[in-house]
Amino acid sequence: MSNLLITPPPSRWARFWASPLGDSLRGNPVALVALLVFSVIVVLALLAPVIAPFDPYDPTQIDIMNSDLPPFWIPGAEPQFVLGSDDQGRDMWSAILYGTRLSLMIGLAAVALQATLGIAIGLAAGYLGGRVDSLLMRLADIQLSFSTLMLAIVVLAVTHAMWGAAVFDRYAVVAVIAVIGLAEWPQYARTLRATVLAERQKEYVDSARVLGFGPLRIMLRHILPNAMSPIFVISTVQVGNAIIAEASLSFLGLGLPASQPSLGALIASGFDYIFAGSWWITALPGGVLVVLVLVINLLGDWLRDALNPRLYKV
Amino acid sequence: MIAYLVKRLVQGIAVMLVISALGFAIQSHLGDPLRDLVGQSLGQDAQQQLRQDLGLDDPYWAQYVRFLGRVMQGDLGTSLFFDEPALQVILKKLPATLELVFAATVIIVLLSVPLGVYTAIRPHAILSRVIMGLSVLGISTPVFLTAILMISVFSVGYGWLPAFGRGDAVPVWGYWETNFASLDGLSHILLPSVALAAIMLPMFIRLIRAEMLEVLQSDYVKYARAKGLHPLRIYYVHALKNTLMPVITLGGVQIGTMVAYTILTETVFQWPGMGFMFLEAVNRADTPLIVAYLIVVGLIFVLTNTLVDLIYALVNPTVKLARMGA
Amino acid sequence: MSLLSVRDLTVKFAMRSQTVTALHQISFDLARGERLGIVGESGAGKSITGFALMKLLSAPGYIDSGTIQFDGTDITQAPEAQMRQIRGNRIAMVFQDPMVTLNPVLTIGQQMVETLRAHRKLSRRDAQEIALTKLREVQIAAPELRLKQYPHELSGGMRQRIIIAMALLLDPDLIIADEPTTALDVTIQADIMELLLKLCQANKVGLILITHDLGVVSQLTERTLVMYAGRIVEAGKTREIINDPQHPYTQGLINALPQQTLPGQMLKQIPGAMPVLTDIPPGCPFSPRCAFALAECRRLLPQIMQQGSSEVACHEVNRLHSDLLLEEGR
């Protein structure tokens, strides 16, 4: 009987809420709001195919007759197009939902690539040491001094010129993810290397070695968990940076094509119509982009203060 | 000192060799020099003959050495679109970009130091919170959006300032025309330079603030207080001078980013500088101009990085140039 | 009249969740030219006392109550501008670690000249002259060269000499030296202490020497305060305290001195550790570590009382003395 009265084990959320991290979140209304807004954006973006009234990728659903309609609060709006339409008659609300989904996806994928690469290089540099270490860290310095955006612009510009626009557009998503993902590994690598150097000295690593565990297992099971909080903090900020980088590339015409628009590509396509007064084609996706990156950066600031890991400043 | 300069020179040459090799690879894979020279009208045999004459069938390394030789003499090829030497096209565009970067840098330096110091010494003041809030917003806003926003407000909305171009640039010397000598020129450079500064400024404010907060906790600042010094001297001499070193390092790392942001800013404002030219060259597949741009930007990059290192050594007494050369 | 008169000085730290008291109603006097030692383990509140006297407590610390009369001025009430005229000029400080006390990006000359010019209208050249005289006083080789050097070019001992020279620049009435030799090489510690003593005597400067080392205090000072957990537990003439310590804590400190230990023996450390400020035990704060502690000690805070030539805050000492008095009266 009494068994039935036992309270269920606390949910994951309840446990997080009770943890020190949750505690610091409670004392930080800015971070709390940022988390809420971020969650709403992510959910809306994930549900884009379900909630969007139109499919912006389907040319048959786009009618030029519906072009340049303003959003609902401006006279001349059509109830069908809540946030208006762009110059080709594409529904802005649907385009923004899909665009956000694409921007988020590219940001996350690029950061996953960065993290994998950086963690592997950092672990290798820290574990192998010696000449390999100094070579890899020298490479990291050089990589850092060439900015990611500059590198991405050059690589994509050359690819663009080499393949031609038609082929480039087809592989744009992969190319953008690859370029942003490959360019930003040094921050992860440096942090991981420092963690390896610090943890190697410790007893438990020795005992793991005595027990006969291989270096790979020691790295992944024993050392990597110690680097989780810096990885977490870096990744948050990097997702924001990657989304900005993608938007900038798309704006320059070196990222995603207008037929498969991310937020950056939407802004770019609207820019030409700003002087004609159709400001919403640019402003609405622009606003969403800024809010998305802003809440990610605010969450990053909060995580950095709450977890307070050792980070490399530059 | 001399050892250091020699070392920097060797490093710079190494970087330039890599960039030129990259440029050569792009040139030899992208452009068809034959088509560039004569168009499509030549017969097969004549084409083959020309290829041999031009040395296009030579091994790659021999072609690269020839390419290097031409680059050393300032021959970066001929722009397909402008039908002019690529270097000349770039040199014509260079002053516009340098002036834009200069104006933005002045804004960044003039604002980041006092704002960063203020937010560090008054961390709880309302103004500090506003500055820090705006700087997170600034970091989160891509440069092209700031630029678009400024155009739509100040040009389209109020019509106060021009939206694109350089306006009346006053000729100074050679290809150099300046925006700083006429009211029209100044009104044209205002929005682009503010937009470019707006993206870099928050980063520097945040860094100066963070470093300053750390320095203010240090023993030597406490000691300076114990000596009865005026707070202004403590903040601006004792603390700021120590804060500057990481800031200079960041400045060096950000040179590449600055170049990228220049491309974006120039594109939005159709500023007739190198960045806008580069993007147009990409869209026109003007390979020689793309390659020439990369080499010139690489050179600027190497030079400014060396300059930043020298400034760092001047500010930081613990760095001995002689030791850096060792 | 004494130069410095501290009465019921209480310092608190406002933490996020609670406010803790770091100094409990400290009172002491210092005559002109007198040398006073403040002794205790780390965490006793010695350094906080030093910084409170300069009104340089960094947030979240603040002076809650009490007065600090310095030559007729109440420092606790003095505005910041007036404090700036006192700091460096009338009261100088010598910090613990000379490696981090001097600003790394300014030359020794700049740091000495700015101190002089902050307090006196002097030309740069005259200020440099004064700096040179003071550097000679602390027996630094090639003083002209030192003025042009940066701190990182000098050894730790040399830096501490320079800091002592800087403390003397404006002929202050009082020098507060916070563990001035702890960070230095053992071989030069004695030199620096001797120099400090000689200069204080020669210039008739008062000294407050903050240290954990009773041995140093016995060589340099005339009077001593022993502090524990933010309170003074024993105060009196240094010779009396060294030769006839009353408080069990003072006795423990003396027994722990290496000089008190025979070769091959372990140092006789006081068992346990100083309580943290957020968790001070009830009654006498030393009672958990005290070999003589009675039930009363764990309940009731002992007040500081005159016992013979010293002042002591201890129930056991009080009891012994009253027994003694009773016996004498009998």
Catalogue all structural domains in chain B, each as residue range(s) with its CATH number. Answer: 2-72 (no CATH), 88-284 (1.10.3720.10)
User: Which residues in chain B have their CB less than 8 angstroms from residue A157's CB?
Assistant: 278-279, 282, 290
C283: in domain: no
> Looking at the domain assignment, is residue A23 inside a domain?
no
User: Which residue from B14, B254, B209 is spatially nearest to B119, judged by alpha carbons?
Assistant: B209
For chain A, where are the alpha helices, taking DSSP H only? 2-5, 12-18, 20-26, 29-46, 48-51, 92-128, 130-145, 148-163, 165-170, 172-183, 186-200, 203-210, 215-217, 228-251, 263-271, 280-307
Look at residue C287 and tell me if it is in a domain: no
What was the pLDDT predicted at B202? 93
C98 at B interface, C-beta within 8 A: no
| B226/chain A closest Cα distance in angstroms | 31
Residue C67, domain member (yes or no): yes
Asked if residue C268 belongs to a domain, the reply is no
Amino acid found at C106: L
Does B219 contact C95 at a Cβ distance shorter than 8 Å?
A: yes
Residue A308, CA distances (Å) to A224, A240, A301, A311, B105 in order? 17, 19, 10, 9, 32
Lowest-pLDDT choice from A237-251, A270-284, B133-147, B262-276 = A270-284
Q: How far apart are CA C4 and CA C146, in angstroms?
A: 34
Q: Which chains touch C (3 or more CB pairs under 8 A)?
A: B
- Closest partner CB to B224 (pick from C92, C103, C152): C103
Q: Is B149 on the interface with A (CB under 8 A)?
A: yes
A7: in domain? no
Residue C125 lies in a domain: yes
Q: Give the closest-approach CA distance of B103 to chain C in angstroms.
A: 30
List per-residue pLDDT tens for chain A, 314 residues long.
445 555 666 677 777 777 777 777 777 888 889 999 999 999 988 887 888 777 777 767 666 666 666 776 777 666 776 677 777 767 888 888 888 999 999 999 999 999 999 999 988 888 887 888 888 888 887 777 777 888 888 888 888 877 777 888 888 889 999 999 888 888 888 888 888 887 777 777 777 777 777 777 777 777 788 788 888 888 998 999 999 999 999 988 888 887 788 888 888 887 777 777 677 778 888 899 999 999 999 999 888 888 876 655 44
Question: Does A14 fall in a domain?
Answer: no
Residue C218 maps to a domain: yes
Paired strand residues for C307: C310
Whether residue C140 lies inside any domain: the answer is yes
**pLDDT at residue A291, rounded to an integer:** 94
- Domains: count for chain C: 2
Q: Is residue C36 located within the same domain as residue C80?
A: yes
**Distance from C-alpha of C163 to C-alpha of C96, rounded to nearest angstrom:** 10
Nearest to B256 among A146, A251, A267 (CB): A146
CB C68, CB C76: distance < 8 Å: yes
The pLDDT value given to residue B30:
66
**Amino acid, res. B81:** F
Q: Does B35 touch chain C (CB under 8 A)?
A: no
Answer yes or no: is pLDDT of B227 > 90.
yes
pLDDT of residue B130: 94
| Whether residue C176 is found in the same domain as residue C72 | yes
Same domain? C86 vs C235: yes
Query: Does residue A139 fall inside a structural domain?
Result: yes
pLDDT of residue C112: 93
Residue C178 sits in the same domain as residue C232: yes
Residues of C whose CB is below 8 A from B217:
58
CB nearest B290 (choices: A161, A279, A282):
A161
Count Cβ–Cβ pairs < 8 Å, chain A vs chain B. 110
Could you say which residues from 33 to 92 on chain C have a Cβ atom under 8 Å away from some Cβ of chain B? 54, 56, 58, 83-89, 92
Facing B144 at nearest CB: one of A153, A248, A283: A248
- Among C258, C287, C309, the domain boundary falls at C258
Q: Is the dihedral of CA B10, B12, B18, B20 positive or negative?
A: negative
Range of the domain at C73: 1-90+172-186+195-258
Rounded Cα distance between C293 and C302, Å, is 12
Contact B125/A at CB under 8 A: no
Task: Please identify, among C224, C258, C292, the residue that sits at the C-terminal boundary of a domain.
Answer: C258
Task: Give the model's pLDDT for residue A2.
Answer: 47
pLDDT at residue A40, rounded to an integer: 92
* 137-176 in chain C: CB under 8 A from chain B: 150, 152, 166
- Read off φ and ψ for residue B293, nearest 5 degrees: -60, -45
Q: Are residues C176 and C84 in the same domain?
A: yes
**Higher pLDDT, residue B58 or B10:** B10
A66 belongs to a structural domain: no
Average pLDDT of the segment spanning B3-27? 82
Residue of B nearest to C93 (CA): B226
A248:B268 CB<8 A:
no
pLDDT for the residue numbered B32: 59
What pLDDT does residue C1 have? 66
pLDDT score at B105 = 92
Domain CATH for A121: 1.10.3720.10
The b/e string for B12-23 (b: 16+ C-beta within 10 A; e otherwise) is: beebbeebbebb
Q: Is B294 on the interface with A (CB under 8 A)?
A: yes
Q: Determine, yes or no, domain membership for C10.
A: yes
CA-CA distances (angstroms) from residue B56 to A308, A313, C225? 59, 48, 91
Q: Angle between the B86-121 and B255-269 helix axes, to the nearest 10 degrees?
A: 110
Distances in whole angstroms, Cα of residue B142 to Cα of each of A249, A257, A286, B208, B259: 11, 19, 9, 21, 14
The two structure tokens encoding residue B114: 């006092």
CB-based contact (8 Å) between A28 and chain B?
no
Torsion of Cα atoms, A251 then A254 then A259 then A262, to 10°: -50
Contact B222 C95 (CB under 8 A): yes
For residues B66 and C126, the model is more confident at C126
Q: Which residue has the higher pLDDT, A13 or B284?
A: B284
In a domain? residue A152: yes
The CA distance from B49 to the nearest CA of chain A, in Å, is 26
Question: Domain containing C20 — which CATH number?
Answer: 3.40.50.300
Decide if A192 contacts A118 (C-beta within 8 A).
Answer: yes
Q: Kindly state whether residues C7 and C85 are assigned to the same domain.
A: yes
CB contact under 8 Å between A294 and B136, yes or no, is: yes
Structural contact between residues A92 and A84, judged by C-beta atoms closer than 8 angstroms: yes
* Structure confidence at residue B325 (pLDDT): 37
pLDDT tier for residue B38 given thresholds of 50, 70 and 90: low
Comparing A252-266, B29-43, B225-239, C102-116, the range with the smallest average pLDDT is B29-43
Residues of chain C positioned with their CB less than 8 A from the CB of B220: 100-104
Q: Is pLDDT at C11 greater than 90 in this prediction?
A: yes
Residue A91 falls within a domain, yes or no?
yes
Interface contact flag, C87 B228, Cβ < 8 Å: yes
**CA A238 – CA A187 distance, rounded (Å):** 10
Q: Provide the domain limits for residue A274.
A: 28-55+79-307
- Determine which of A248-262, C26-40, C145-159 has the lowest per-residue pLDDT on average: A248-262
What domain count does chain A have? 1
